[in-house]
């Protein structure tokens, strides 16, 4: 039987802009199981970024309940949310979000410092995941010495380093050319096969088709939630 990792019930998120109330999310009900590969889609203004922020514990809902890995995180304070983010969620961003003066190894080590690993274990684990994304020979290079694809691989390694419950990827191929995009999606497929739960937020249909389930938002509501019976597979990716 499938095991739930995310359960949203009646999630609403309202913002006050001047005298107006913007209803970004309007009662979202959503369940995602462990080891699912989900694409979250929607046009600008659909609420997908707001939903991503709530799923990633970067924001809390105005009302409703969000249970992540058996824990209600909808009413936690900022410090508690930061701890959940560090332990449970691996983030991959469109703009990579790497520290420019730090090496690939130092960028990947950073979440382990916050998690309280000792120095020996931090270095060993960071080297392990950099090897997993085929960057062993580039780990002492800084971001400006790496290609866009290599930078995104560093970001993927950083996302994986804490053994998170879910990988949340926000437009992970948005700054990459088509060949490199395929490489990154091939890497996502490998990560999924190893048992990770992946949520990719994208506006690109060809990227969404790699997912096994596609959820579309319109006007702050789930417009459709469908199983992708024939997901696109990248048979192999080049480094």
pLDDT at 238 over 80: no
Instruction: Give the phi and the psi of residue 48 in degrees, each rounded to 5.
Output: -70, -35
Buried b (16+ CB within 10 A) or exposed e, 167-186: bbbbbbbebbeeebbbbbbb
| Predicted pLDDT at 234 | 80
In this predicted model, what pLDDT tens digit does every residue of 152-209 receive, in sequence order? 999 999 999 999 989 999 998 888 888 888 889 999 999 999 899 999 999 889 999 9
Query: Is residue 153 domain-resident?
Result: yes
Q: What CATH number should be reported for the domain holding residue 148?
A: 3.40.50.300
Number of domains in the chain: 1
Query: Is residue 84 domain-resident?
Result: yes
| Predicted pLDDT at 96 | 85
| Predicted pLDDT at 237 | 43
- CA dist 127 and 136 (Å) reads 7
Query: Is residue 237 domain-resident?
Result: no
SS3 content of the chain, % helix, strand, coil (to 5): 35, 30, 35
Which among 210, 226, 212 has a CA at the least distance from the CA of 36? 212
Query: Is residue 7 domain-resident?
Result: no
pLDDT at 235 over 80: no
Mean pLDDT for the chain overall? 92
- CA dist 213 and 86 (Å) reads 26
| Predicted pLDDT at 167 | 95
| Predicted pLDDT at 175 | 86
Domain that holds residue 180: 34-62+78-227
């Amino acid at each position: 039987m499938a095991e739930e990792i995310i359960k949203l019930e009646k999630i609403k998120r309202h913002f006050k802009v001047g005298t107006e109330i913007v209803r970004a999310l309007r009662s979202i009900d959503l369940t995602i199981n462990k080891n699912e590969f989900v694409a979250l889609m929607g046009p600008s203004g659909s609420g997908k970024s707001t939903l991503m922020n709530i799923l990633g514990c970067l924001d809390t809902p105005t009302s409703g309940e969000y249970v992540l890995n058996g824990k209600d995180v909808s009413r936690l304070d900022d410090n508690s949310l930061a701890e959940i983010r560090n332990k449970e969620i691996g983030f991959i961003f469109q703009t990579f979000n790497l520290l420019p003066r730090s090496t690939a190894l130092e960028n990947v080590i950073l979440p382990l410092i916050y998690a309280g690993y000792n120095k020996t274990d931090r270095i060993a684990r960071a080297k392990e995941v950099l090897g997993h994304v085929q960057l062993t020979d580039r780990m002492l290079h800084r971001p400006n010495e790496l290609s866009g694809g290599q930078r995104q691989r560093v970001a993927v390694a950083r996302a994986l380093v804490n053994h998170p419950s879910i990988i949340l990827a926000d437009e992970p191929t948005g700054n990459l050319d088509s060949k490199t995009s395929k490489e990154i999606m091939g890497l996502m497929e490998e990560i999924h096969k190893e048992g990770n739960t992946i949520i990719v937020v994208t506006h690109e249909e060809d990227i969404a088709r790699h997912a096994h389930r596609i959820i579309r938002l319109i006007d702050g509501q789930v417009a459709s939630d469908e199983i992708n019976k024939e997901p696109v597979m990248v048979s192999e990716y080049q480094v």
